[in-house]
Amino acid sequence: MSDSQNIVVDEIFPHTPDAIWKALTDGELMKRWLMPAEGFAATVGKRFTFKTTPAGQWDGTIHCEVLEVVPAARFVYSWQGGHEDNVGYGSKLDTQVTWTLTAVDGGTRVHLVHSGFVVPRNDVAFKNMGDGWKKVVQRLGSALEDQA
């Protein structure tokens, strides 16, 4: 029996939605807080990749496609990687990352949902990325402070 799980991170930053949007959608800024993206552009239909540590039959490439772009409000992309033959780290993953930005007093609420983890197959990815996204979202704020 399998079930689908989501990672949710919700933070408020003392930056405008436009500033947060730039960090989410500017390739140079993105590599400061997430990782370098090959072929990235914030355009619906644009395919791009991230590269991480390979495992087993998986070469470490994360394949993404921009699915939705609402400037300074919502950014959605697919996140696919892994390999069918891998168990644990590097298992087949077919997920989606959704960023929602909402202006609040003194800044912006950043709401991240990384959805579609099939458990138990993606247990390792769900745990590792759940912990990882919390750190990554914090680095998003740091990247903006470094830019100021």
**pLDDT single digits (tens) 48-87:** 999 999 999 999 999 999 999 999 999 999 999 999 998 8
Give residue 147's pLDDT.
65
How many domains does the chain contain in total? 1
CA 120 → CA 41, 58, 61, 94, 123, distances in Å? 33, 19, 22, 14, 5
Percent of the chain surpassing pLDDT 90: 86
Give the angle 70-10-37 at the CA atoms, nearest 5°.
55
CATH of the domain at 7: 3.30.530.20
Domain that holds residue 43: 3-147
Give residue 142's pLDDT.
85
Residue 148 has pLDDT above 70, yes or no: no
**17-49 residue pLDDT tens:** 999 999 999 999 999 999 999 999 999 999 999
Locus of tokens 């590097």:
90
Task: Name the pTM for this structure.
Answer: 0.94
Q: Quick one: pLDDT band at residue 143, thresholds 50, 70, 90?
A: confident
